[in-house]
Structure 1
Amino acid sequence: MEHNMRALFLAALFLIAVGFGLAFGFGFAAQRVASGINGSVALGAATLVATTWFGLWQFEKTKRKEAEARIFAQRAEIYHRLVVMLRDMIFAVKGWSEQRSETDLARDLSAITYDMIVWGGQDTIRQLMNLSDTSPTDVGGMMRRMSDLFRAIRKDLGHSDDAQLPEDIVLAMIVSDEREAVRAQMRSTQ
């Protein structure tokens, strides 16, 4: 939401600047024509200034997109490591894989968290912090916060999911017989 508001603000600011530039350029050209300078020269100068400014703006926009693409690649790799770690923790609770020591889990989570300082999106970092603040005995709260974390991860990676999908992703990790009970616990913690 904040990103969209910023984009709208920048677009409005750009349109105002272009409008002001055009008005100034045409006003300058009209004044020069009235004072005896060739109108086509003045209009050509205004066009040159506007074209140069637009080219610089487009170059800056392209650089920003390239930077976002580099960030995306790093971010996706870190988020993948985090999701795999969460999956393995759930599998260990279910007895489907070997239980790891708390020290190993804390070390891996700490490494992921530090990587996210550089590459992670702010909402995802906050959701990861919220997840780590949840009591292990609060299953519904833990699942709700995991759902919020998945929502933030998928949004950072460019997905436009419906509101239900992150909850469904968490529930897909649970045996089907337990899904409705866990869904009720998740919703009771909102």
Structure 2
Amino acid sequence: MKNNILLFFIGILTSLITTSSLYVFIKSLMASPPEITAAIIGALGALAIGFWTQRGTKTLEINSRHFIEKRGAYIIFINLLFELFNTQRNGGPLSQEEMTEALMKFKRELMIWGDQKIIKTLESYERLCFENSGDIKKQILTIDKILREIRKDLGHRDNQLKDGDLVLMFIKAEDKDKLFN
């Protein structure tokens, strides 16, 4: 309790010192000749732009490094989807163990690199599957939503794609007609 009171008074004191220093600076700036005022304002503007540019560059650098890791995580999921749909097309079995292993690998990567919307959408998909709802169309559209969120996280704008367009890339033409007509 004493620490909180002390911190409160230190905060007030710091605010007062900062405010009065700023007041003195502005008052001195207004009293100085226009050439000096313009030079100081120009220097402060250049300094502010420098800090802003540095921050933007640093953010871009971090996002570039994260992009590589995110991409790798999302490729695991895309490969799993292609494998699932391909085995359904060709009738070849994908063992439950292989599917679980790939999904767990994706979740491990997703936990570190994934966007929160992707995590929440995957969670809703799993809940939908766990409830064992026979609504295949709803499940497929939820997978499509996961794919959209992945693409959005990687910087794509999908404003011209309709719901289901991404997941339809995995499905045979005759199955598309059955599902979406």
TM-score (norm 2): 0.74
What CA distance in whole angstroms lies between the structure 1 residues aligned with 2:172 and 2:144?
A: 16
1:165–1:77 Cα change, 3 Å: farther
Q: Does the 8 Å CA contact 1:78/1:115 hold for their aligned counterparts?
A: yes
1:166–1:78 Cα change, 3 Å: farther
Aligned to 2:155: 158
Question: Is 1:118 aligned to residue 115 of structure 2?
Answer: no
Aligned to 2:60: 65
Indicate which of 159, 179, 183 corresponds to 2:180: 183
> SS at 1:128's partner residue?
helix
Q: Does the 8 Å CA contact 1:29/1:43 hold for their aligned counterparts?
A: no
Indicate which of 47, 50, 59 corresponds to 1:52: 47
Tell me the alpha carbon deviations over residues 112-148 of structure 1, each in whole angstroms, 9 at most, x when there is no partner: 1121122112222222222222225431121111111
State the superposition RMSD in angstroms.
2.4
Give how far 1:29 is off: 6.7
What CA distance in whole angstroms lies between the structure 2 residues aligned with 1:141 and 1:148?
A: 10
Give how far 1:46 is off: 2.4
TM-score (norm 1): 0.71
Give how far 1:83 is off: 0.6
Tell me the alpha carbon deviations over residues 23-46 of structure 1, each in whole angstroms, 9 at most, x when there is no partner: x9xx6576213xxxx332232222
Q: Which runs of 5+ in 1 are unaligned?
A: 1-23, 185-190
Tell me the alpha carbon deviations over residues 35-81 of structure 1, each in whole angstroms, 9 at most, x when there is no partner: xxx33223222222221122111101110011111111111121112
Aligned to 1:133: 127
Q: Which runs of 5+ in 2 are unaligned?
A: 1-22
Tell me the alpha carbon deviations over residues 135-169 of structure 1, each in whole angstroms, 9 at most, x when there is no partner: 25431121111111111111112221235355123
Aligned to 1:31: 30
What CA distance in whole angstroms lies between the structure 2 residues aligned with 1:175 and 1:145?
A: 18
What CA distance in whole angstroms lies between the structure 1 residues aligned with 2:180 and 2:45?
A: 57
Bigger RCO (CA 8 Å, 6+ sep): 2
Aligned to 2:9: none
Aligned to 1:91: 86
What CA distance in whole angstroms lies between the structure 1 residues aligned with 2:29 and 2:44?
A: 16
What CA distance in whole angstroms lies between the structure 1 residues aligned with 2:86 and 2:163?
A: 18
1:60–1:99 Cα change, 3 Å: same
